[in-house]
Amino acid sequence: MVKYFARYGIPGLALFVLLVILSRFDFQLAEISKNFAATIAIITVVGVLIVAILVLVLHHKRESNESSVSSEAILLKYNQLVTGLPSPKQNIWAIEDIANSEHPQKQHFLRELQKSSTLSYIEQDAIALALANLASRKVTKDAYDRLHKKESDRWQRDVVSDGQVDMTWMALWGLKIWRYLNRKDHRQYRAVEEALARVSINRELDEETLRLFNSLEIMGG
């Protein structure tokens, strides 16, 4: 709405103001126009055209500046994602921002990110979702909450499938969710995978796993 007003409304408003000003001097123009009617008409039209052109040029310049700032912001988000933002949620938000932007290389950015061997599982799922939405011209939103809930519900069903709900199974569920959210280069990632292997085999929560469970850090990179 604002864009259309700037493009069409402002020149029209300029013409209206010009006509109001001219109407205040109508009595003088009546005399002058007898001899200079054509000249006055040409001057009026040229004046209006100049105002309209100036407005359009300034508007185009502002749009170009905004587009440049937007492109730089998307490139910054991509570079931040390469190294990882402070939390998994921020990583997913950055993926959404790239996917929903007007940047001409947004698909390229997302596909390049897919190649990273350190991405978390939730990031991989979010990028796949974003690319699918781009193909069908849909907006990507609430990806973190939706994917987190889907994975959490899936592991929770596994935990209670045999009717045995205890601390061991809850820890197993928590460790799997943590692994889903965090990147593979997280300093605790290997320890979590080793703990998952132990708990899955022994079906019991040892002290080492419990200490790890209580000290887990949620980070994006």
Question: Taking the model in full, what pTM does it have?
Answer: 0.67
Tens of pLDDT, residues 177-201? 999 999 999 999 999 999 999 988 8
Residue 74's nearest CA partner among 22, 30, 27, 110 is: 110
In terms of C-beta density within 10 A (0-12 exposed, 13-18 middle, 19 or more buried), how is residue 170 classed?
Answer: middle
If pLDDT is split at 50, 70 and 90, which confidence band does 161 have?
low
Region 82-101 average pLDDT: 94
216: left (phi over 0), alpha (psi -120 to 50) or beta: beta
Q: Where in the chain are the domains? A: 2-70, 72-141, 145-215
- The Cβ of residue 185 has, within 10 Å, a number of other Cβ atoms equal to 15
Per the CB < 8 A criterion, the answer to whether 99 and 140 are in contact is: yes
How confident is the model over 5-34, as pLDDT tens digits? 455 555 566 666 556 655 655 545 555 555
